[in-house]
Amino acid sequence: MVIDGHVHIGTSQFLQIDATADMLIALADEVGVDRLFVTHVTALWHDMREGNDQLGAELARHGDRLFGYATIPSPRYGAAAVAEVRRCVERYGVRGIKLYSHPEAPLTEAWTYPVLETAAELGLMVLGHLTPDECDHLLRRVPDVKLVMAHMAGQPYAFGNWHLAVEVAERHANLYLDTATSQMDDGMLEHAVERLGPERILFGSDMPLLDPWVQRAKVEAAAISAEAKRLILGGNLERLLGL
Amino acid sequence: MRFDINAFFGPWQFWPLRHPGIEDVLRLMDRHGIDHAAITSLRGLYGERREANAETLAAARAHGDRLTPLAVLSPMNGGGAAELRALAGQGFRGVRLYPLLHAYRLYDPFADEVCEAAAELHIPAIVCTRPMMNFRFATYPIEEVGALAERHPAAQFILSGPNYLTEFRAAVIVMQRCPNVAIELTCMQALEALRRTAEAVGAHRVLFGTGMPLHYPACNVAKLTSAKVSDTVREAVSAGNARRMLGL
């Protein structure tokens, strides 16, 4: 089974995307992706309850293809953020949390810890748009949470430093790396597999911002074993989600 | 046929490459069905351009059926039109400009001098807005490429480096304003980048590039093979446009 662990739904002028579930599933069918782990951009960039409710409606329609992230625009919402996570689990059966760290609201603040502690308590994965140093900081305080470093540092705030992403992941057994990124540096996946093993690397496309064909090709063409590719493309998320 | 307009060889100071040598690059081309590549020594980006150009020429001459040399020019140590004419006489079919790495702007008289010479020689100027698609590298403003192209309507420009969002939009605006600007897609990661770019500016101005061995070639091959375009468009982007612009 191929599972894309990093997908956006909804409309965002910031990301210049306008994606419905039907559109994403049609695209997944073309690319050969079975399941999509989806975060709603309205929850990420505007109002968490509004966006998560819209995602919940799509999860109800496409429960056989979609998994949902409860998306929190900022842990500075405090108790309301934690309550929103619990609401999304109870009402929509989400399997993870999506968080985004940016200079305007960095996730290294103490507000983030209760959200991660809640994720650990409920067995939710956390897909965090985080730098390696931020991941290091958070996992020192909440070591039990399963944290996924979105883009494996291939994003502007992390300066593209996948070497450091792997180094930090070596220190934290609960840190996973997401392959979705504009970057396609030759050797980045081989390096990660060599240092971490394939079990902590998760395929993501970041579609429809990025092209899933390109993102899948990055994994398929890497000089790693067929078993490593199977794990990265879906086997690891199957295990983590208990499928 | 696949013609890679954006290939390199040599060591990379920021991390060890898996395929740095010219023979490594040829094997990568074979593995990914790339028949021909326009090649430049990575020494030309951060090191010394004349040594880089000599290495590039030697590699291309050794594999003339697979490789076409692209030179690098910078204003340091007297680089300019005379040097470009000499390089073209040796067989270079294009010139790469890295304003961000070589301490000048595209409104520098050096850039105008090189572009005038490139137009006379009928070789393209490949303007690189980033050295590779990694966020640790800064990017050069695409708008300045447009201003340069407007000053030199007889020259052919190839934009190299733009990615998605603002960069894509800026590139399209520049290309709509300047018919003498084309774009190679190495760093463009937006969904359906090839089709969208071809529809926005015309397929005759879009080129296939990989950035190997800095990048996985497979990623850019996937853009070609997955694009929802006609065979005519795919062939133009795969190779036809590069061959035409390089005068091959």
What pLDDT score was predicted for residue A237?
A: 98
In this structure, what DSSP letter does residue B229 have? Answer: S
pLDDT per residue over B4-63, tens digit each?
999 999 999 999 999 999 999 999 999 999 999 999 999 999 999 999 999 999 999 999
Q: Using CB atoms and an 8 Å cut-off, which of residues 174-203 of chain A contact chain B? A: 182-187, 190
Task: Provide the pLDDT confidence category of residue B197 given band limits of 50, 70 and 90.
Answer: very high
Over the range B199-222, which residues count as b (16 or more CB within 10 Å of their CB) and which as e?
ebbbbebbbbbbbbbbbbbbbbbb
Q: Which residue of B has its CA nearest to A12?
A: B165
Distance from the Cα of A33 to chain B's closest Cα (Å) equals 15
The percent of residues above 90 in pLDDT, for chain A, comes to 99
* A156 close to B (CB below 8 A): yes
What pLDDT score was predicted for residue B77?
A: 92
Arithmetic mean of pLDDT, A166-194? 98
What pLDDT score was predicted for residue B21?
A: 98
* Full domain range(s) for residue A35: 3-241
Q: How far is Cα B197 from Cα B236, in angstroms, rounded to an integer?
A: 13
Q: How far is Cα A54 from Cα B186, in angstroms, rounded to an integer?
A: 36
Residues of B with Cβ-Cβ distance to A218 under 8 angstroms: 216, 218-219
From B214, B217, B223, residue closest to A185, measured CB to CB: B214
Q: Do A160 and B135 touch (CB under 8 A)?
A: yes
Here the ipTM equals 0.95
What pLDDT score was predicted for residue B33?
A: 98
pLDDT per residue over A20-68, tens digit each?
999 999 999 999 999 999 999 999 999 999 999 999 999 999 999 999 9
Residues of B with Cβ-Cβ distance to A160 under 8 angstroms: 134-137
Average confidence score pLDDT of chain A: 97
Complete domains list, chain B, with CATH: 3-245 (3.20.20.140)
Amino acid identity, position A149: M
DSSP character string of B43-87? HHHHS-HHHHHHHHHHHHHHTTTTEEE-EE--SGGG-SHHHHHHH
What pLDDT score was predicted for residue B52?
A: 98
Per the CB < 8 A criterion, the answer to whether A126 and A148 are in contact is yes
The percent of residues above 70 in pLDDT, for chain A, comes to 100
pLDDT per residue over B81-97, tens digit each?
999 999 999 999 999 99
What pLDDT score was predicted for residue A30?
A: 97
Q: Do A154 and B135 touch (CB under 8 A)?
A: yes
Q: Do B219 and A207 touch (CB under 8 A)?
A: no
Q: What CATH number is attached to the domain comprising A75?
A: 3.20.20.140
Q: Which two tokens stand for residue A60?
A: 């109800």
Q: What is the count of structural domains for chain A?
A: 1
Give the pTM. Answer: 0.96
Arithmetic mean of pLDDT, A72-99? 97
Which range is least confidently modeled, A94-98, B77-81, B124-128?
B77-81
